[in-house]
Amino acid sequence: MGRTSLGDLEIDPDERYLYVVNLNNKLVYRVDTWAANPQSTLAALPSIVSAQAPCSTRGGVANYRPFGLAVTRDYLYLGGVCSAETTQNRAHLGARVDRIRISNGSAAGPWEQVIGMHLPDFDAQRTYGTTRNLVWQPWSNNDRCGFNYAASGFYICPQPMLTDIVFDEQNTMILGFRDRFADVTGNDPIARSIPAGDIVRAVWNGSGWSNPTSVASAEFFNDYRTMFVESDKAEVASGALAYVPGDQNGGYGGQVLTTWLDPYNGTSFGVAWFNARSGGSPTALQVLYAGGTELRYFGKAAGLGDLELLCNWSAVGDRVWNDANANGIQDAGEGGVSGVRLQLFAASDTNFTTPLATVTTGDLDGDGQGGEYRFYVQPWKSYVVRLDPAQFQAGGKFHNWIVSARDRGGDDGRDSDADQILRTIAIAPQSNEQQTVTYDIGLYAGQGTGQIGDRVWQDTDGDGLQDAGEPGIGGVTVQLWACSDPARLRCGSGDPFGSYRTVTTDSSGQYLFPTLPPNYYRIVFPSLPPGYTLAPANRGVDDALDSDVAAGTNFIPPRPVYSQTVDRSNDLGLVPAVGDITVVLDGDPQVLLGQAATYTARVSGGTAPAQNVTLSVTLPAAAQTVNAPGASRSGNTLTWSLGTLPAGANQSYSFTIVYGALGQQRPVASVASNPADTNPTNNSDDATTLVVSPNIAITQSAPASAAPGETFTYRLTITNRSTQPGGTVPAS
């Protein structure tokens, strides 16, 4: 018994690969049940005997007897005992659990031992509360080994077989031991026996499993008494195990089932239910048959084999914690947050209309930390876990609390997994009986750490890209609007947003909105500076260099902002919207040397306002005296600052020049704006003035001689030889 035929059978969580222990050659085989011909897929995993030489220090590997299996998504666990059958030395009795990583039904790593038990250490525990000797004995073929209880013909000779392994929601490994002696014996004329199995647990310590405790006191799972406290029964757990998530009311906890001797009366057999968290005595006993003394029950004392659940289940969840330093990692001293409502939705319910379940975090595992939660779901279906948004609104318990950044640090068991904006976790399809308790959520109270902004610039060439030398534009008002939907589901361009903050671009065109909580934000430019139009949007492959405001709008479409991120890709390009400004210069065509020539410069606006307009006049070198009201002079240049010239406006500026030289004189008027005029060909004009002087000549004539007393006449002839009038010419 225990040396031939098959041991435990388990199917993987995806219900595809079936694994079975061959008790004779001590190999684990697997079969692909999805194959058209499953028998043809039979294959053995690597030999644990070859890899680990189990029991080599306990009488030799011939004493290694595997039996129990557990299969998770990543590992196959194999339980076995060191039977001491070849030495009959109790000091060689032991139990161990080894595991091997599996992938698609094949080994993906070496065998490694995870549990090692010296069974004699449990002697005091197995005799606690009874006067009978229930310590484990070496395997024997003698059906009269042990002792004859009260000379009744019922023999007690417990021989260990580690026949089953299950895990609870805290990753505690629970081991079921069957008494081999009950399988060796039977009804008369074969000796009858009183079996004494066991159920023990190995607690997960964060990096592995601690060996089951062997202290001389009541066990965690109390199996040393039957329902009626029968004097001839103790250690009545019989080796088969199953784990049911939650409690019988649907709450968190979990229940462990094991086959059980005498749940009702001295001729009954059934199942005991234990609270996986608190242990103690069974919470319920289930009678599968009573009066089972006939041969058809295979001997009542060990008439049941394994336990399998007919329902499918998976468990997801873990912890909501106070992420005091907001780093997204569960650090020492950061406690759980109890009282947080979480909702479970089908993944197809994208509008979150019908929650499948709602739970509130609390101290579910009894460690005093709090913040734990669980959802029990159907395998092979996708779900979404969401923090109830109502509790984050004004007046809610967690108003102004922020969800931590997700997937920080590389350890999925310690980081936060929820989307910061939607406050949701996508739950991938789970396998049957899979327990994924790594879905954590960090929360903290405080201001946000996200930032968004960038630049408003003058797109001089109008290509929609920030080119070298294109300046920023200061003084532009920028508004930030935040999504108003508490659930963050309606946060698109056409959805309601509320004004959140307002800033103004600096002299280089830069702007930034700091300390933002996670949300969707829209950046709005309520008015463009005069003289500009929008640059083409989304023209480049680099979003940090192009313009993001589409034609006909005044905003950048909503963008998400997360904690500890800076989004500097929100730019506005502005193309100068300057009309065709012109200047015309008129002046006196001719003046006398020393007289003032008068000029008038007329500046006309185009179809759009012109900014920072200046009128300049370059003076001829012969200019001596200049009168130019409102102008400044630097060397031979006069300058008027016009400021903004409205579209279609006409402005005139007059000045006079007295020249100190004759000839043609030509002052030049120029007009300029910033942004520059789109048509520079008519931005200058000149006027030509001829400066002249009169050419006066006088001649005198008289008789050659005259007698004394004779009257005669002198003739004075004055001639203007110039083309200009001489004006008043005095003569003397």
Residue in the structure block whose two tokens are 């029950």: 297
| Structural domain 314-445, CATH architecture | Sandwich (2.60)
* Predicted pLDDT at 699: 83
> Is the whole-model pTM more than 0.95?
no
* Predicted pLDDT at 148: 80
Tell me the pLDDT tens digit for each residue of 233-270.
Answer: 788 899 999 999 876 665 677 899 999 887 777 677 88
One fold for 314-445 and 450-576: yes
Tell me the pLDDT tens digit for each residue of 645-683.
Answer: 888 899 999 999 999 999 999 999 999 988 788 788 999
DSSP string, 578-605: ----EEEEEE-SEEETTSEEEEEEEEE-
Burial of 24 (0-12, 13-18, 19+ CB in 10 A): exposed
CATH code of domain 450-576: 2.60.40.10
Instruction: For residues 453 and 568, give the distance between their C-alpha atoms in angstroms, rounded to a whole number.
Output: 5
* Predicted pLDDT at 405: 95
Listed by start position, the domains of the chain span 73-302, 314-445, 450-576, 582-692
Instruction: For residues 51 and 205, give the distance between their C-alpha atoms in angstroms, rounded to a whole number.
Output: 26
* Predicted pLDDT at 693: 87
Which residues of the chain, if any, have pLDDT below 50?
none
* Predicted pLDDT at 258: 95
Instruction: For residues 346 and 160, give the distance between their C-alpha atoms in angstroms, rounded to a whole number.
Output: 46
* Predicted pLDDT at 601: 97
* Predicted pLDDT at 262: 79
* Predicted pLDDT at 98: 99
| Structural domain 582-692, CATH architecture | Sandwich (2.60)
Instruction: For residues 344 and 378, give the distance between their C-alpha atoms in angstroms, rounded to a whole number.
Output: 12
Contacts of 124 (CB under 8 A, 6+ apart): 214, 215, 216
